[in-house]
């Protein structure tokens, strides 16, 4: 039987090589995974032209995945530096990389990224439209925006953020809401500006069926962008955000009718006590489609430390149903992140994702933690560094102030609780001020 997309194949009972690979990674049987993909509750973003892809699944019952944003900007057009970030993301096992380039040779960079990256690659076509077509925003036509979608699909992009939910009704609601931060989504703001300047409907909403036809042809997953996501705590869970989410639920079903895989994007800033309800609301309104969240950042007053505010919110979000976390770096709100920022952002996001997987009982999630506990109990430092999310940093810390012997670290020395208990249980003495002897 022929098929165009992973979803269509699953509906027909066909086990693709990508589905088989995901089932093996996640500890699922193929029979268990097929209905999840067929119903849209799990996606496997895998453009037919992305030949270097190591496929991953996102959604119900699977490990929480993370995404790393990077790309060329007008103020920092260093292609080599961005490729170093790509390599770092791959080294740390990030499952997705989003190229948010909006300046210069975006196509050349994206082609190199897709050729190299085993991680799924995402883009936001509206970011690239001005540079790709060499037209200013006011001069764009609806078909121009669709041309960029097709170009990215042909190049091998696995998923695209498309802000189709910010239609005229949503704009009217936003304008009535009098938000503190207005629109903080870059793609959403560009479409809002285009709509207001031209008087036209959002082209991605008006021509949504045409967009689906393009995505279906290459099996590109649509990531339904949240143009009206909150950019500060005070704007969270307001009418604009919820109204757009309802529209995204309708667009999800329309995509599924075309066998196009879908994930839905969620809030950026939100108080901790609102997160769980928002996760459940998305799953209800968007029919169980995977949820992709930026953060949420749980406070607005920690610039320079927003990888931490994001990790707190991300852990709560994923534990309550979010499936995919977009990393946030310490440079968020301040500048383009450098390599060190990217590393900190990746590690913080992986911690949040793993902690959430333990909380929601994902298959095998506790295994490395149990192995770490055993390695610590027997002072197997090499095993500890191997199991650590960032083993290189852990080893550097351990070696920077060496302990007097390998059965402790320099924090506790001979007063190490694990060392003391091990010696007593082994029938040995514990003498802090002199050399100890075995009994």
Q: What are phi and psi of 262, to 5 degrees?
A: -135, 140
- Which residues partner with 263 through β-bridges? 223
Instruction: Check the annotation: does 412 bind a ligand.
Output: yes
CA-nearest of 315, 319, 27, 275 to 327 is 315
The tally of CA atoms less than 13 A away on the side-chain side of residue 312 is 14
The per-residue DSSP string of 18-71 comes to: HHHHHHHHHT--HHHHHHHHHHTSEE----TT-TT-----EETTSPPEEEEEE-
Q: Do residues 82 and 97 lie in contact, with contact meaning Cβ atoms separated by under 8 Å? A: no
- Please report how the helices 272-285 and 306-319 are oriented relative to each other, as an axis angle in degrees rounded to 10: 50
> Other CB atoms closer than 10 Å to residue 358's CB: what's the count?
14
- Among left, alpha and beta (phi > 0; psi -120 to 50; other), residue 13 is left
- Which residues partner with 59 through β-bridges? 42
Instruction: Check the annotation: does 333 bind a ligand.
Output: yes
Tokens of 18: 């990508």
Q: What are phi and psi of 162, to 5 degrees?
A: -130, 120
Instruction: Check the annotation: does 185 bind a ligand.
Output: yes
Tokens of 329: 């770096």
- Which residues partner with 292 through β-bridges? 265, 324
CA angle (359 as vertex; 118, 419 as ends), nearest 5:
95
| Size of the chain in residues | 439
* DSSP helix/strand/coil, 380: coil
Instruction: Check the annotation: does 201 bind a ligand.
Output: no
- Which residues partner with 76 through β-bridges? 73
CA-nearest of 332, 361, 366, 367 to 348 is 332
The per-residue DSSP string of 386-414 comes to: HHSTTHHHHHHHHHHS--SSTTS-TTTGG
Q: Give the separation between CA 324 and CA 357, rounded to whole angstroms.
A: 11
Q: DSSP E strands: which ranges in 124-177?
A: 159-162
Q: Give the separation between CA 285 and CA 306, rounded to whole angstroms.
A: 29
Instruction: Check the annotation: does 187 bind a ligand.
Output: yes
CA-based radius of gyration for the chain: 24
Instruction: Check the annotation: does 227 bind a ligand.
Output: yes
* DSSP helix/strand/coil, 222: strand
Q: From the annotation, which residues make up the binding site for [4Fe-4S] cluster? A: 409, 412, 416
Query: Which residues contribute to the annotated binding site for Zn(2+)?
Result: 269, 333
Question: Could you tell me which residues are annotated as the binding site for substrate?
Answer: 69, 98, 127, 163, 185-187, 226-229, 265, 292
Provide the annotated binding site: 69, 98, 127, 163, 185-187, 226-229, 265, 269, 292, 333, 409, 412, 416
């Amino acid at each position: 039987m022929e098929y165009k997309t992973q979803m269509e194949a699953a509906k027909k009972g066909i086990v693709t090589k990508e589905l088989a690979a995901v089932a093996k990674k996640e500890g699922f049987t193929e029979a268990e995974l097929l209905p999840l993909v067929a119903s849209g509750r799990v996606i496997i973003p895998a453009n037919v032209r992305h030949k270097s892809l190591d496929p991953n699944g996102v959604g119900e019952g699977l490990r929480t995945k993370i995404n790393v944003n990077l790309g060329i900007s007008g103020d920092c057009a260093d292609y080599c530096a961005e490729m170093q970030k790509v390599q770092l993301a791959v080294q740390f096992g990030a499952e997705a990389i989003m190229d948010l380039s909006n300046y210069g040779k975006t196509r050349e960079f994206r082609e190199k990224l897709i050729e190299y990256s085993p991680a799924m690659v995402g883009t936001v076509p509206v970011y690239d439209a001005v540079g790709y077509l060499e037209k200013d925003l006011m001069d764009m036509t609806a078909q121009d925006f669709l041309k960029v979608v097709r170009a990215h699909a042909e190049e091998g992009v696995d998923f695209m953020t498309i802000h189709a939910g910010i239609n005229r009704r949503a704009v009217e609601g936003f304008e009535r809401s009098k938000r503190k931060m207005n629109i903080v989504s870059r793609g959403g703001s560009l479409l809002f500006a285009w709509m207001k300047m031209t008087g036209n409907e959002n082209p991605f909403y008006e021509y949504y069926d045409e967009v689906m036809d393009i995505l279906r042809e290459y099996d590109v997953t649509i990531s339904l962008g949240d143009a009206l996501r909150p950019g500060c705590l005070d704007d969270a869970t307001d009418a604009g955000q919820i109204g757009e989410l309802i529209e995204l639920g309708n667009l999800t079903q329309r995509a599924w009718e075309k066998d196009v895989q879908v994930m839905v994007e969620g809030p950026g800033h939100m108080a901790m006590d609102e997160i769980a309800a928002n996760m459940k609301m998305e799953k209800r309104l968007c029919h169980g489609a995977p949820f992709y969240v930026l953060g949420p950042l749980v406070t607005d007053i920690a610039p320079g430390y927003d990888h931490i505010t994001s990790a707190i919110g991300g852990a709560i979000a994923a534990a309550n149903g979010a499936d995919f976390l977009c990393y946030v770096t310490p440079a968020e709100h301040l500048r383009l992140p450098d390599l060190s920022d990217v590393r900190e952002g990746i590690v913080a996001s992986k911690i949040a994702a793993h902690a959430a997987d333990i909380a929601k009982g994902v298959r095998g999630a506790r295994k490395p933690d149990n192995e770490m506990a055993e390695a610590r109990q027997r002072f197997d430092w090499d095993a500890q560094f191997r199991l650590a999310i960032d083993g290189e940093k852990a080893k550097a810390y351990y070696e920077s102030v060496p302990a007097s012997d390998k059965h402790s670290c320099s924090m506790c020395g001979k007063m190490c609780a694990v060392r003391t208990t091990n010696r007593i249980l082994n029938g040995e003495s514990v003498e802090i001020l002199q050399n100890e002897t075995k009994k």
